[in-house]
Chain A
Amino acid sequence: QVQLVESGGGLVKPGGSLRLSCEASGFSFSDSYMSWIRQAPGRRLEWISYTNKNGDSTGYGDFVKGRFTVSRDNAKNSLYLQMNSLTAEDTAVYYCAKEDWGRASHWGQGALVTVSS
């Protein structure tokens, strides 16, 4: 079955950077759009970004403001999110998701990112 496993979360200082990874299995990763979605305490879910099948088309939520970059390695069945210039407002659980026509059909278990000094 579809499995998505995030890693790379943790504690980072304001202004710092972090790279999240998501390892996929149980489906054809190279044929799938993929996304990152986050859930901050007390805030609604936010769709951070998506990438198409080969990674040459991506989209970002307005709040990203050029700070995050999504990428993928189809040979490794892996999705990545490079996050720079982090602030306390980026504290959240970050989910990797398989995207089917704009909906998140499968989710990982999430990776907690805490931005604090």
Chain B
Amino acid sequence: ERVLTQSPDTLSVSPGERATLSCRASQSVGSNLAWYQQRRGQAPRLLIYDTSTRATGVPVRFSASGSETEFTLTISSLQSEDFAVYYCQQHNHWPWTFGQGTKVEIK
């Protein structure tokens, strides 16, 4: 099983600032890495797939990169609605697995 480890666990950021989240895989997952956003009380929402492709309707302030075992999600200028928990997920090797999540909170 591919284990995904996200860092940091919590990120404190002021509105308008940039946030950078990391996801590391225990073995290569190629480019088969997705990112999700989960706001409080809601289901997760797909943000990014195939490492860097934004899902439909996702604002351009969300960008992502990486390959193999190291991946990054960047939010260029945090808006109030971006304070949430973010999960990475690999779909390179079954079973698909998630990271433990990074909580982005208001500083």
Please tell me if the beta carbons of B98 and A44 are within 8 angstroms of each other in the complex.
yes
Mark contacts of B6-23 with chain A using CB atoms, 8 A cut-off: 1 yes-contact digit, 0 otherwise.
Answer: 000000000000000000
A47 with B101, Cβ < 8 A, contacts A105-B46, A109-B43 known: no
Which residue in chain B gives the minimum CB-CB distance to A96? B43
Highest count of chain B CB atoms <10 Å: which of A62, A101, A104, A109: A104
Please tell me if the beta carbons of A104 and B46 are within 8 angstroms of each other in the complex.
yes
Please tell me if the beta carbons of B95 and A44 are within 8 angstroms of each other in the complex.
no
A-B contact pairs, 12 of them (CB 8 A): A45-B98, A46-B98, A59-B95, A60-B95, A101-B91, A102-B96, A103-B46, A103-B49, A103-B89, A105-B46, A107-B44, A110-B43
Q: How far is the CA of A102 from the CA of B92 in the complex (A)?
A: 8
Q: Is residue B106 within 8 Å, beta carbon to beta carbon, of the partner chain?
A: no
Please tell me if the beta carbons of A44 and B49 are within 8 angstroms of each other in the complex.
no
Give me the interface of A with B, judged by CB distance under 8 Å.
Answer: 44-47, 59-62, 95, 100-110
Interface secondary structure of A, over-half rule: strand
> How many A-B contacts if CB must be within 8 Å?
52
Please tell me if the beta carbons of A44 and B91 are within 8 angstroms of each other in the complex.
no
Q: How far is the CA of A108 from the CA of B94 in the complex (A)?
A: 22
Q: Is residue B87 within 8 Å, beta carbon to beta carbon, of the partner chain?
A: yes
Q: How far is the CA of A107 from the CA of B96 in the complex (A)?
A: 16
Chain B residues numbered 66-107 whose CB sits less than 8 Å from any CB in chain A:
87, 89, 91-92, 94-101
Q: How far is the CA of A47 from the CA of B89 in the complex (A)?
A: 10
Please tell me if the beta carbons of A44 and B101 are within 8 angstroms of each other in the complex.
yes
Which residue in chain B gives the minimum CB-CB distance to A93? B43
- Cβ–Cβ < 8 Å partners of A103 in chain B: 34, 46, 49, 89, 91
B54 to chain A, nearest CB (A): 13
- Cβ–Cβ < 8 Å partners of A106 in chain B: 46
